[in-house]
Structure 1
């Protein structure tokens, strides 16, 4: 896993737990405690965490530090390949529900070539990419914009989802683990994804390989509850094998 991605995951884990041990971080990241110590030193130098005996505690920080804008440029080429491959699964004339996230924002750009489409979005970034595009009927679902991520969450979002049915839900994910399934770092985001899974004929997950082997705070679904995964070539072959055993069609971009 590239250093910038590992630092992002480490920061998310610390903020999720508020206080976390070196041993737990090492287990969840699949690295040595020595590596965790170095990463925590770097995050402390940036003023994002505080090192304590045996671990780290979260510090308040500007919301954009670990948000969408910071992550959008990371692995941009990989996300672009994943997005292009996922867009090919969409047929002109379909109704699409597009999740929030940096990879799904890239999918939004690729969907323009598949028009005409009706696309409902759970992300203000995706909405910006699709607004005023020829052949795209854009529906922005209501809800609360989550700070830093600009994902749309909450009861208003769920209520609007209840009024619609989609051919395909394109879902981003924070983590996927061979035993724990698909999970997210934020409860509100996880709740929207759980609801969206019930509103589409099929679900396509888009996720780069840094998400493999990671367990996040809030479970979204078991592995077999989605139909297709589009990813790059993961080093974590065990998780990939578990996903395939669960009956998920896996496409490598």
Structure 2
């Protein structure tokens, strides 16, 4: 193939798969990785794709920090479906952690506790949703309040968590990348999420399909440290297969 034909092949393959890998393209096109990387740079300069670590994608993989008031309007129906599935995983007399984000806030709305329920949370909006239930004991973490997420972060919140151990952590994220792992847009929040994982038996991630292939500034953990991911039918079968190979149970709603 000449340069033009090779570039068209890459674009066509990208539209079919959603993302491309440098090593895979090297095998398919029988050229060096240097050539492929030059091709991807040229195509990115023409605004035809976004380069990522080891490949390229059609959508910008880097997330930006938005307020919860903006986020709650995005993928609203998908979040409700994910929330209902997540809420069904709560057992009677459970002790759980709910992190921050609009999807876990939607989950809090769906909780109908059987027996007593203890909830540890960093998110003010989650606490407000649950306060109406007389049999839900809420432990609100303290610390520096992030106005964009209406949740706390910082050392004080992390120190409080050291006194507890819960059966499940329900975690919202800004990005899920198969190589880089789970991320959020704030480094302090990522660190607190990591501490939540350390004091939880199971880690359950709630993420709509737009979060896949995205990366935020703060890395929370690798994919292999997650037990469950609940997402919507917009996720690609290839991604689901890759996650299951890493030992993650995926529920698509």
Change (3 A) 1:150 1:83: same
SS at match of 1:142: coil
Task: Compute the TM-score of the two structures, normalised by the length of structure 2.
Answer: 0.74
Deviation at 1:214, TM superposition (A): 1.1
User: Among residues 21, 26, 37, which one is paired with 2:50 in the alignment?
Assistant: 26
Alignment of 1:89-100 (within 5 A): 89-100=89-100
Residues of 2 paired with 1:116 and 1:77: CA distance? Answer: 29
Change (3 A) 1:150 1:25: farther
SS at match of 1:100: coil
Residues of 1 paired with 2:84 and 2:49: CA distance? Answer: 33
Q: Which residue of 1 aligns with 2:207?
A: 207
1:175 aligns with 2:198: no
Change (3 A) 1:148 1:156: same
Residues of 1 paired with 2:76 and 2:46: CA distance? Answer: 30
Q: Which residue of 2 aligns with 1:224?
A: 224
1:108 aligns with 2:108: yes
Cα contact 1:175–1:216 (8 A) shared by 2: yes
Provide runs of 4+ in structure 1 moved above 6 Å. 21-25
Cα contact 2:113–2:136 (8 A) shared by 1: no
SS at match of 1:120: strand
Cα contact 1:182–1:221 (8 A) shared by 2: yes
Residues of 2 paired with 1:25 and 1:218: CA distance? Answer: 24
SS at match of 1:112: coil
Cα contact 1:176–1:182 (8 A) shared by 2: yes
Structure 1 runs not aligned, ≥5 long: 1-20, 37-57, 59-64
C-alpha RMSD of matched pairs (Å): 2.3
1:197 aligns with 2:224: no
Change (3 A) 1:27 1:162: same
SS at match of 1:193: helix
Cα contact 1:143–1:152 (8 A) shared by 2: yes
> Which whole-Å deviations, capped at 9, do the CAs of 1:209-248 have from their partners, x for residues lacking one?
0001112222111111011111111343333222111111
Task: Compute the TM-score of the two structures, normalised by the length of structure 1.
Answer: 0.74
Q: Which residue of 2 aligns with 1:121?
A: 121
Cα contact 2:182–2:222 (8 A) shared by 1: yes
Deviation at 1:145, TM superposition (A): 0.9
Cα contact 1:212–1:236 (8 A) shared by 2: no
Deviation at 1:86, TM superposition (A): 0.7
Deviation at 1:161, TM superposition (A): 0.6
Q: Which residue of 1 aligns with 2:66?
A: 66
Residues of 2 paired with 1:24 and 1:122: CA distance? Answer: 40
1:240 aligns with 2:230: no
Aligned positions, number:
203
Residues of 2 paired with 1:24 and 1:168: CA distance? Answer: 42
Residues of 1 paired with 2:214 and 2:106: CA distance? Answer: 22
Q: Which residue of 2 aligns with 1:185?
A: 185
